[in-house]
Structure 1
Amino acid sequence: MTASYIALDWGSTNLRAFLYQQGECTAEVRSERGITRLEGTTPQQVFNDVIAPWQSLNLPVIMAGMIGSNAGWVDVPYLAAPFSLDALGQHLYPVHAALPVKAWIVPGISVSRDDNCNVMRGEETQLLGAVHDSPASVYLMPGTHSKWVETDGSQVLDFRTAMTGELHYLLMNHSLIGKGLPAQQPAADVFLQGLSKGLSQPDITGRLFEVRAAHVLNRLDKSAVSDWLSGLLIGSEVAQMLRLFGHHHSVTLIGNQQLTERYAQALRLAGVSWQAFDGDQAFQSGIRRIVNAMGN
């Protein structure tokens, strides 16, 4: 394929569009019209709006993320792990719709076993960039649904998902833990205390109510509950996942600096070595490799 194209990173809550000309990213658009925030429009209408400034260039479009899910535009079948990320470019799914340009969706990857059922969409593109630019045996991708991925070179062997970000949101906004609290303030020391507790006592289901009790009894600053809970949940996630993947000696953290730093603190406390790789850089590197593979 030509080195000029448009790439869309289209998730549940956000959409990012990148224009590549002769292999270089020359323009970028960010939108909050993820697939759960279409506000009465269809994915095709949003697609047309987003690429409208670049439509006259008549470039192909590669999309990754939840846009390929059963809640998105096209329900693209998953590729079963073990799977080589280097082969993603040979498995793109064409969008059969009346579009002004040709478009494809990158398929996600699945694991379906008695001991593990898991799916990912979007992360596979970041992983492709990371396995070449920041190699490790385990990749940690923090987020609403954090992914822990075990690889052998570019081969995805296994992965697990932790709903840590979503749990934090639900507990703070739709449970007794967050009732009657003032505006939350950053509290780095409180976060570390929660992190230590979660790492040492990862089976926290029976302890979550203590978060509420602690601030009701004035043992926890009411403005620091969010950071305490965040530390507790992240610590628990890291401890549980290290039981599965802790025999590996290197972890690459993929994401934005603010979120990866929280997980980096957990890995430090757990005595695990790590390196960070920017999520945008990982996505763009992965997309370039997919496009290059399409041309072969």
Structure 2
Amino acid sequence: MITIDEASDAEVGVLHYVVQPGDVLSKIASTFGTTVSKIQKVNKLSGPIKPGQKLIIANEDVGFLYTMPETINIKIFTNKYNLNTEEFMSLNYIQDESEMLYEEQDVFVNMTNEQAYDNGLLERPKPVVIIKPKVSYKPVINKPQGNNSRTTSSSSTSTSKKSSIISQWVYKKDIKNGFYAGYCTWYAAIISPEIFPYIEENKQERPFGGNANQRCDNADKAGLRVVWNSTKNPVKPGAGALVVYKQGGPSYRSYGHVGKVKEVDSDAGTFILTEMNTAGKFIVTQRKDSIDNDNIKCYIYSK
């Protein structure tokens, strides 16, 4: 859950928040410095909120979450759909207009659906024509029920894959540790002072470097305890370990990914990790993952 301290570190932009037990809109609005009305408008809420429900927190009266259908340059995208480039970048924590928006990436667009229809960003829904079927009346014949009669019942069941995301927030501080700010490696070092000790208030030592997928080998060479994962016999991590993934998200797949294990549920075969840059630069995500995820390469411990 996002704390008030974490919320105060957030700069202007959009947050993704998962409603917790006991939450009410007024409490959430107060925590994030917005209003109940804005939360209701952006999320199109007409009733009470429920635990587990995902909300978009934005200091905007209008807007919606848009999933990119293709990879495109930010400047080209905003010009194409008449968006203010600076506002769009600020809302989505983007610092350089030369960056790319990647296919399946979620971005917040601060315009109404009607404006999006007019600009061509969204396809206007076609009107639904309801044709009433012709009704023919036939006499109903009640057949006697005997031992050979069968009663059938139908039930509709649906299964939905629940999102593993628990909460998200923004973290932007001037901390130097030799990694690129806003990326997973940078944040993993910040929250792991036992491995990357602070030598000044805003500066850390870097006992080893490299991209996320190089961390296992580099940590091993630096003398840290590295526990290699096996697809056939998955390793159960310990709280506080760095978890290294072989592949990262769609925009940085070949570089791998790294996060930090917060807690482990051995009975459920899952663990909760904290990570950065799965939803965008400087965005921290806390989510649940499976111990038997074959994308896990290793776990790194300070001792």
TM category, shorter: under 0.3
Q: Which one has the largest radius of gyration?
A: 2
Taking structure 2 as the reference length, what is the TM-score of the superposition? 0.25
Tell me the TM-score normalised to structure 1 length.
Answer: 0.26
More helix by proportion, 1 or 2?
1
